[in-house]
A and B are shown apart, each in its own frame.
Chain A
Amino acid sequence: MAAVTETWRRHIVGQLKHRDLNQHHRFQDLIRFYIRLLEKTSLTKGILSCSTRQRSSDRSSVSSLLHQNNDLKKTTGELAYQVLELQQQIKIKECFLEEQHARLVADGSRLEGALDARRALQRRVETVQEDNGTLKRNYDELLELQRREEMKLREETVRGEGLLEDLIHLKTQAAAHMNSHNQRRSRAREANLQKELQTAARSKVTVDSCSSAPTSRSTSPKSDHQQDSTDGGHVRRFRSLSASSPRILSSFRDLFDRKRRGHSVCSLEEDLMFPVRFSSSARVPVRALQVLEAHEQGINAVRFSSSSQLLATGGTDREVKLWEVRSGSLTHRSTLDGSTEGITCIEFDPAGFRILAASYDKSALLWRLDDSVPKLTLTGHSRKVTAARFTGCLHQVVTGSADRTIRLWDLQRAACVKVVEVSSYCSDLVCCENSVISGHFDSKIRVWDSRALRCVQELLVQGKVTSLDIGSDHRQLLSCCRDDCLQLVDLRGRSNERVCFRADGFKCGSDSTKAVISPDGCFLAAGSADGAVYIWNVSTGNLETRLPDRHSSSISAVAWSMSGEYVVSVDKSRRAVLWSDI
């Protein structure tokens, strides 16, 4: 049975296949066309494809195509709209693009401008940098300069400070000098006034010594009170003065004590200390050992100390200078100042501790050798003091002056104890034991008793006496006169033998030219106006030697050391010459 079924089935299938093959040809084109249409439809009408497919019948295909066509038209319309829109958008975009382009161009041109500016700036930077470089160099130079200037400034400041220091130092000195000057003047004034007081006191005492005491007592208590107050003020005044002032006071007290006791002015010890001058043989100098400019101005006086180790010179420059004489040369030791005018005459005290000088400032001054400030100033003369000498008494000094007086001073009281008026200018003085001998411009030499200052003798010479010197044995007196003659007078006996010494070329140069006797009394020395030192032999009366060429101006004084070894001559042009025989 199954096989039968199978056979017909195969037959039927064969039949059918055959029919399919026959009929397939006829419908082939249609199917193709349809497929094409279908494809077309599905292509053009994607949206409506579903519905189209549902109505997959041929009848509905036209309508669906129509429908599709409509849809397509609609779609075309939409698309056209879209195209329009897009075209519009394109236009906008183009506009925008144009805009952008324009902007780009603008930016490009701006960029170019900026680049230009940049280049310009770069150029400027370069120039500025260059300038900076220059400036920097200048700055460095200036910095260097400034450093140098600052250094200089620092140096200058230091120097300025140094100068200021110096100036202040000088000013301090000037102030100290002014102070001491004031003090000296006030002291001089005091001394003057004291002297006046004293003179007044003395005159009262001598006139009526009994009544003067009651007079003073009878003054009212008021005056006592005043006295006290003055004492007080007076003590204050002296707190800064030197020690010499109280001495003045004590000497005043002494004065009044003595007045009460008696009339003795000199104390007893006075004669004890007068030293014995020794004479050694003098050697005639032959050559100059040393020539020096000893003072600022002319030298008026020169003197050896009794030990011959010290030399003193006094000049117009107001100073007394002390020199040490050692191994044939002079070395400056100290300067004594205090005189307000030139020095005219100097002398060492016999013991060699003090020095006395006469001055143009109308006073005589006394120094201790170790103190440059004068210990005493003796004032009272009214014109220049030409000579000041220690007398034989220890504390006494005698001075001669151009005011035609000779005054005797007590050093303990710092006061003048005697004044003698002479008729003529006194140019020089010398003292021996009991007498004072003075030389005058009226061509007279007067001999005075040294205690009473009474003229005991007058000797006439030929001219104005310029200087006197006495031999160390006090036997011979040498006078130098303006008639260019030295005269030696024998003081022994009554005869007063005289010997004159002259020489060709010797000329007495001034009113104060000083001549000396050698310590052994064998020679005389004097300086001449021609600048030469002349030395005479006393025993023969002839010129021993002439020492020329060392002085350029008139010699004002000579001195012979006590040892006989040295002679010193000084002149008006500041020069001092040490002569010796070595």
Chain B
Amino acid sequence: MAESGSLTSSTLPPPRTRIFKIIVIGDSGVGKTCLTYRFCAGKFPEKTEATIGVDFRERLVEFDCEKIKIQLWDTAGQERFRKSMVQHYYRNVHAVVFVYDVTNAASFRSLPAWIEECKQHALGSEVPRILVGNKCDLQDSVQVGTDVAQQFADGHSMPLFETSAKNPNGQGDGHSGGGNSDHVEAIFMTVAHKLKSQKPLVLSQPPGGSVGTINLSGGRDAGGDGTRSWGCSSC
């Protein structure tokens, strides 16, 4: 938490900035911490230890002249480090990132359990989820094939990304338009973009109010676009 900056009031952006809370979950050791660190600090961490509870990482990004704060919740993978906090993870979450390790079939097999946990916490289907296969730089020891993972992702209607927090530029699998740029970054940016376009501008419209329709429909249109582009990126 310290490395990504503690969240004191002095670092708070103006209240206009929207915050997207994205939780990153998956088995222990699949590289959740490295992924989030890569995205927020732009580099691969020298060494990491098991996350206890949760670590918060934040990054301010700018889309279409709007500043958006992406708040990543790097959750603990080990059951004993997360037991009492699970409900906090899922509270008001905007998106869920499931991570597995392509070199570890067990981490892939436990994905249904994670998805089940997600369901148990009454996460609506409108909350976007993505599946990320990490460590794909270790091509020699791949245990989870892209086709299998893609099938699984399709079955749960999630987009699949394979990447490596260590060496994200090493390969382009065509899932995102990242090209040569940082692939991890592209993944999170895609999520943020999806969230931004999906979310209506105003959370609580006055019910039955005759105003705000224009704003609203504008937001909805954008949402439609976002969904479409989302769909493309997922296949």
Contacts and interface: CB of A to CB of B under 8 A. Distances in A.
A200 interface: yes
A213 interface: yes
Nearest to A230: B205
A222 to B, nearest CB: 8
Contact of A185 (B19, B88, B126, B208): B19
Contact of B217 (A176, A182, A185, A223): A223
A327 interface: no
A376 to B, nearest CB: 14
Contacts of B217: 222-223, 226
Contacts of B71: 178, 182
Interface in B189-234: 200-213, 215-217, 220
Interface string B66-86: 000001010000001101110
Interface string A150-177: 0000000000000010011111101110
B92 interface: yes
A186 interface: yes
A245 B204 CA distance: 9
A179 interface: yes
Interface residues of A, number: 57
Contact of B213 (A175, A219, A237): A219
Contact of A197 (B18, B85, B126, B212): B212
A178 to B, nearest CB: 6
A179 B88 contact: yes
Contacts of B120: none
B12 to A, nearest CB: 6
Size class of the B contact interface (CB-based, 8 Å) = 35 or more
Interface stretch (B51-59, B140-148, B151-159, B178-186): B51-59
Interface stretch (A246-254, A422-430, A451-459, A550-558): A246-254
Contacts of A188: 15
Contacts of A190: 202-204
Nearest to A252: B206
Interface in B89-131: 89, 91-92, 124, 126
A341 B14 CA distance: 12
A227 B204 CA distance: 11
Interface string A177-203: 011011101101110111001001100
B7 A182 contact: no
Contacts of A318: 9
Contacts of B206: 194, 197, 249, 252-253, 256
Interface in A188-244: 188-190, 192-194, 197, 200-201, 204, 212-213, 215-217, 219, 222-223, 226-227, 230-231, 233-234, 236-238, 240
Contacts of B166: none
Q: Name the residue among B18, B53, B89 with the largest chain A CB count within 10 angstroms.
A: B53
A324 interface: no
Contacts of A204: 211
Contacts of B1: 174
A435 interface: no
A174 B203 contact: no
A341 B204 CA distance: 26
A296 B19 CA distance: 28
Contacts of A248: 204
B53 A167 contact: yes
Contacts of B85: 168, 171-172, 175
Given A194-B206, A256-B206, A236 B216 contact: no
Main secondary structure of the interface of A (DSSP, over half): helix
Contacts of B210: 212-213, 215-217
Contacts of B12: 340
Contacts of B47: none
A467 B161 CA distance: 60
Contact of B204 (A172, A179, A237, A256): A237
A236 B124 contact: yes
A318 B8 CA distance: 11
B21 interface: yes
A466 interface: no
A179 B91 contact: yes
A226 B220 contact: yes
Given A190-B204, A193-B202, A175 B53 contact: yes
Nearest to B89: A175
B220 A175 contact: no
B9 A340 contact: yes
Contacts of A194: 202, 204, 206
A231 B19 contact: no
B84 A168 contact: yes
A361 interface: yes
A178 B73 CA distance: 10
A201 B7 contact: no
Interface in A244-288: 245, 248-249, 252-253, 256
A305 interface: no
Given A172-B53, A212-B210, A233-B126, A189 B18 contact: yes
Contacts of A215: 210
Nearest to B52: A167
A361 B92 contact: no
Contacts of A237: 203-204
Interface string B1-42: 100000101001001101101000000000000000000000
Contacts of B15: 185, 188-189, 192, 361-362, 379
23 contacts: A168-B53, A175-B88, A175-B89, A178-B7, A178-B71, A178-B73, A179-B91, A181-B7, A182-B21, A182-B71, A189-B16, A194-B202, A194-B204, A197-B202, A197-B209, A201-B211, A201-B212, A204-B211, A216-B211, A226-B220, A236-B126, A237-B203, A240-B91
Interface of B: 1, 7, 9, 12, 15-16, 18-19, 21, 52-54, 56, 71, 73, 80-81, 83-85, 88-89, 91-92, 124, 126, 200-213, 215-217, 220
Given A178-B56, A189-B18, 7 more contacts: A168-B81, A170-B53, A181-B7, A182-B21, A182-B92, A192-B16, A233-B200
